[in-house]
Amino acid sequence: MDTELHPSEKKMKRPIGVTVIAVWGFVGSTVVLSLSAIQFFDADIDLLPQPFLLSASTAMIVLGIGLWRMKNWARISTAIGTLIGLLIGLAGIVLFPSLQDFSPSRVVTQVIIYAANLSVVIYLLIPSIKRAFLSSAQVTTAEHPKPSN
């Protein structure tokens, strides 16, 4: 029995943008875990509830691993989660402008962060990136076929 894959079914390499997003997720998780540890050991610092920080860090690790392994669920979840984060951030600016720091450096920083996050969402929705994830899933199925009954 020939198990050789057709050239069009061969596993696609992980696109560099996916690698960057996955690594960024690992870095972000480390930062969030660090903030959580600082907050845990210093009672004067109260950033966000501890369970939220730990959940966010765990989600970033899981999504980063999923992206690294070219799992389509991770692509979709990352795009949706990033979009939700963008919308919540923008809603905060619109609904609570008095709580915002509108200094020039802060505005520039926020614009860069929002642009980067929007770029992640758009990138993960590009048809060729979607195909790379779907092609990876097909190869996995070909390598590990389901047993027939």
pLDDT-derived band at 74, boundaries 50, 70, 90: very high
Judge contact between 26 and 78, C-beta under 8 A.
Answer: no
**pLDDT tens digits, 28-54:** 999 999 988 888 888 777 778 888 889
Quick one: residue 70, left, alpha or beta (phi over 0 = left, psi -120 to 50 = alpha)?
left
Measured from the Cβ of residue 110, the count of other Cβ atoms closer than 10 Å reads 16
Judge contact between 50 and 40, C-beta under 8 A.
Answer: yes
pLDDT-derived band at 141, boundaries 50, 70, 90: low
Separation CA 65–CA 84 (nearest Å): 20
pLDDT-derived band at 112, boundaries 50, 70, 90: very high
Residue 149 has pLDDT above 90, yes or no: no
Distance of CA 144 to the CA centre of its chain: 27
What is the token pair recorded at 13? 């390499």
User: Mean pLDDT of all residues in the chain?
Assistant: 86
Give one DSSP letter per residue of 73-127, joined into a string.
Answer: HHHHHHHHHHHHHHHHHHHHHHH-GGGS---HHHHHHHHHHHHHHHHHHHHHHSH
Predicted local distance difference test score (pLDDT) of residue 116 = 95
pTM for the whole structure: 0.78
Measured from the Cβ of residue 104, the count of other Cβ atoms closer than 10 Å reads 7
Instruction: Answer with the residue of higher pLDDT: 137 or 98.
Output: 98
Residue 59 has pLDDT above 50, yes or no: yes
- Residue 134: which of 84, 57, 52, 76 has the closest Cα? 76
* Domain assignments of the chain as residue spans, ordered by start: 14-143
